[in-house]
Structure 1
Amino acid sequence: MTGVTLNKVIKRYGDTQVIHGIDLDIADGEFCVFVGPSGCGKSTLLRMVAGLEETTDGRVSIGARDVTHEDPAERGVAMVFQTYALYPHMTVEENMGFGLKMNGHPKAEIRQKVGEASRILKLDDYLGRKPKALSGGQRQRVAIGRAIVRGPEVFLFDEPLSNLDAELRVEMRVEIARLHKEIGATMIYVTHDQVEAMTLADKIVVLRAGRIEQVGAPLQLYSDPDNRFVAGFIGSPSMNFLNATVEAGQLRVPGLGDALLPTGVALPGDGARVVVGVRPQHLTVDPAGDSHAVDITEALGGVSYVYLDAATGERLIVEAHEDQPTATGGRVGLGLDPARVMVFDAETEARLR
């Protein structure tokens, strides 16, 4: 297995540039997830690694090889798409071994490789079935198995769970994580779902408008984001953001009340505008208070999400536990630990530290 290196890669469609000089190193055996909103360039970047999109400028390397201008079949990669793309008239075994058959591999070798892949993916009982007799999750496992039997250097996944229902998505997340652990291959995975990114990745690459916003381990991005975009994108529910001003070296946050908020952050001068970020689980509901109106409460069992309207008109989400019932239409106060607050420049959106 080998790693992947992108060196100042650019993609243009005519006069429109969609990938802006990206540099990235993905280590051998690493599970790297490209994540970001729709249109950020994550699938385009993946397809450039696969060779399905021409690289306008820069270099794509797999291991020690420069593959920038090589055909997809010569790059040593296997891609799993959002759609299963299985042959309906073939059995599971035939679908998984078809690529090797077309390349002239001996039947015994094909049988051995298909058998190994079916063991890993728990498909032994389904080898004689055709795709129409399989569930969505089973079909996706077959598509992954077809990639495994090719023995690629790098696996590429383009939103492979998007067509599955919620329960199957969780099941397949576990299957893919187990697959990576067992075979130890380099994997690049594209998703817009930050929960998938957080649970699967060794390394997350957060993209926006064809540029990398931040690269790091999941918990690093969650606890130490570089800017407001990353802070808001990583974490579910999303981080709360409130306008604030600097006053006497502290923060005046109207959406949290009249008290000045101390912070250990290096703040700009008095009167400067900043944005305060605080995660829902770092806020606490005070039923005895009345500073915030309760708009909606989502009761999910052991945890609830309370949507509050501040007097400033700003919206806040608070994570409350089952021993903190909050009635819709009522009013509550808020508490927070100032050490949990993040501060961002109002203009550049960069994190102030």
Structure 2
Amino acid sequence: MSGVTLTKAIKRYGDVQVIHGVDLEIEHGEFCVFVGPSGCGKSTLLRMIAGLEETTEGTIQIGARDVTKADPADRGVAMVFQTYALYPHMTVEENMGFGLKMNGVPKAEVAEKVGRAAEILQLGDYMRRKPKALSGGQRQRVAIGRAITRGPEVFLFDEPLSNLDAELRVDMRVEIARLHKELDATMIYVTHDQVEAMTLADKIVVLRAGRIEQVGSPMDLYQDPDNKFVAGFIGSPSMNFVNGTAAGGKVTLPALGGKVIETPVALPDGPVTVGLRPQNLVLAADDRSPVEVDISERLGGVAYDYLTTPTGEKIVVETKGDEVQPAGTRVSIDFDPQTAMFFDPDTEARLR
């Protein structure tokens, strides 16, 4: 079994603490994605697991082994970097087999493992080429192939698709998902792109400022976030947040022209932040409404209306591509109160 367990993991650089007592369990065979904004500690945490960053306090286990102080080469992990890190003077075949060769693995075994990796990643036609003759997606597949040949217990991916264009990112995302299914390996993947996280992960770990905000399956985090940060980070377009005032089981929303909704949950009287998914909002032309369409974007099957409200809060509404409202149109906004989420404006905790 090759799961990964972090217990009260802490990382300090001098007096500055960047990882704050992280507890996390990743099961064998899981595809776990670390997400969060830049500087949240996701790459640092990955490098701690790899052994490229020293763990200041706490423990890291891979399977039954405590690897907290182990050298990177002895941890049974293989890492795929954002920058490919290929040797430019070597062919694809030589790049993929170099680590095995340096470890004294017999030539026949190296050839077998490289051939197997090339078959999995469909690189057979490129084995004699050097990296400069490959596309970005092909170079990343070579980097992944080099990791596969090592036969690691855990694969670590540090934003591996960041340097690819949009179409290649989609292709490689599918490739990595297929690879995970075929290898049945434990994979930990770092990204700032929540679309990658939603489509690849069995488990998502949302990080902010070196702390875990929430852990769960993609749909658990989307449908049942614990706080405003997670609610806004998971989902595309992001959740809209508007200020409201709760009183007597109802909430008044000044941003929507004073619209009043019944609350499906018991709320204390006073200020409240209301979260509204763009997909759950319905627009209708209404000359009396203070809400106005600022910009509309048509993307084919879907469209996005960007609204200006009388309170200055911005709202995005997702509609079908042929239902877009022209810029300047005054609109009313309707939604099922059951789809709204409510948050404490001070602590940002979800109010359930």
Aligned partners of 2:296 and 2:324 also within 8 Å: no
Counterpart in the other structure of 1:171:
171
Aligned partners of 1:289 and 1:332 also within 8 Å: yes
Counterpart in the other structure of 1:330:
329
Aligned partners of 2:304 and 2:324 also within 8 Å: no
Counterpart in the other structure of 1:33:
33
Counterpart in the other structure of 1:276:
274
Distance 2:312 2:163 in 1: 37
Distance 1:273 1:259 in 2: 15
Question: Counterpart of 1:140 in 2: which secondary structure?
Answer: helix
Question: Counterpart of 2:152 in 1: which secondary structure?
Answer: coil
Distance 1:266 1:75 in 2: 50
What is the 5 A alignment of 1:54-133?
Answer: 54-133=54-133
Distance 1:110 1:39 in 2: 39
TM-score by length of 2: 0.98
Question: Counterpart of 2:40 in 1: which secondary structure?
Answer: coil
Question: Counterpart of 2:324 in 1: which secondary structure?
Answer: coil
Question: Counterpart of 2:120 in 1: which secondary structure?
Answer: helix
**Alignment deviations for residues 99-130 of structure 1 (CA, whole Å, 9 cap, x no partner):** 00111111110010001101110101111111
C-alpha spacing 1:55/1:293, structure 2 compared with 1 (3 Å): same
Question: Counterpart of 2:304 in 1: which secondary structure?
Answer: strand
Counterpart in the other structure of 1:212:
212
Please report how far the alpha carbon of residue 258 of structure 1 lies from its aligned counterpart in structure 2 after TM superposition. 2.4
Question: Counterpart of 1:236 in 2: which secondary structure?
Answer: coil
Distance 1:172 1:337 in 2: 38
Q: Percent identity?
A: 73
Distance 2:248 2:105 in 1: 75
Please report how far the alpha carbon of residue 310 of structure 1 lies from its aligned counterpart in structure 2 after TM superposition. 1.0
Distance 2:88 2:321 in 1: 49
Counterpart in the other structure of 1:298:
297
Counterpart in the other structure of 2:285:
287
| Residue identity opposite 1:228 in structure 2 | K
Please report how far the alpha carbon of residue 290 of structure 1 lies from its aligned counterpart in structure 2 after TM superposition. 4.3
Question: Counterpart of 1:339 in 2: which secondary structure?
Answer: helix
Aligned partners of 2:285 and 2:329 also within 8 Å: no
Aligned partners of 2:157 and 2:188 also within 8 Å: yes
Please report how far the alpha carbon of residue 247 of structure 1 lies from its aligned counterpart in structure 2 after TM superposition. 1.7
**Alignment deviations for residues 55-98 of structure 1 (CA, whole Å, 9 cap, x no partner):** 00000000000000000000000000000111111110110000
Distance 1:231 1:109 in 2: 49
Please report how far the alpha carbon of residue 257 of structure 1 lies from its aligned counterpart in structure 2 after TM superposition. 2.6
**Alignment deviations for residues 216-258 of structure 1 (CA, whole Å, 9 cap, x no partner):** 0000000000000000000011000000111222101111232
Distance 2:279 2:287 in 1: 18
Counterpart in the other structure of 1:43:
43
Counterpart in the other structure of 1:148:
148
Distance 1:13 1:298 in 2: 45
Distance 2:324 2:213 in 1: 38
| Residue identity opposite 1:155 in structure 2 | F
Aligned partners of 1:91 and 1:131 also within 8 Å: yes
What is the 5 A alignment of 1:331-350?
Answer: 331-350=330-349
Please report how far the alpha carbon of residue 288 of structure 1 lies from its aligned counterpart in structure 2 after TM superposition. 3.9
What is the 5 A alignment of 1:237-316?
Answer: 237-268=237-268, 270=269, 272-288=270-286, 290-291=288-289, 292-316=291-315
Distance 2:100 2:300 in 1: 50
Distance 1:100 1:208 in 2: 38
Aligned partners of 1:280 and 1:319 also within 8 Å: yes
C-alpha spacing 1:290/1:144, structure 2 compared with 1 (3 Å): farther
Distance 1:158 1:311 in 2: 43
Distance 2:273 2:324 in 1: 29
C-alpha spacing 1:290/1:92, structure 2 compared with 1 (3 Å): farther
| Residue identity opposite 1:286 in structure 2 | A
Q: CA RMSD in A?
A: 0.9
Distance 2:15 2:5 in 1: 26
**Alignment deviations for residues 20-51 of structure 1 (CA, whole Å, 9 cap, x no partner):** 00000000000000000000000000000000
Counterpart in the other structure of 2:318:
319
In the comparison of the two structures, how many residue pairs are matched? Answer: 351
Aligned partners of 1:289 and 1:334 also within 8 Å: no
Counterpart in the other structure of 2:194:
194
C-alpha spacing 1:245/1:102, structure 2 compared with 1 (3 Å): same
Question: Counterpart of 2:307 in 1: which secondary structure?
Answer: strand
Distance 2:287 2:10 in 1: 54
Aligned partners of 2:32 and 2:205 also within 8 Å: yes
| Residue identity opposite 1:349 in structure 2 | E
| Residue identity opposite 2:298 in structure 1 | A
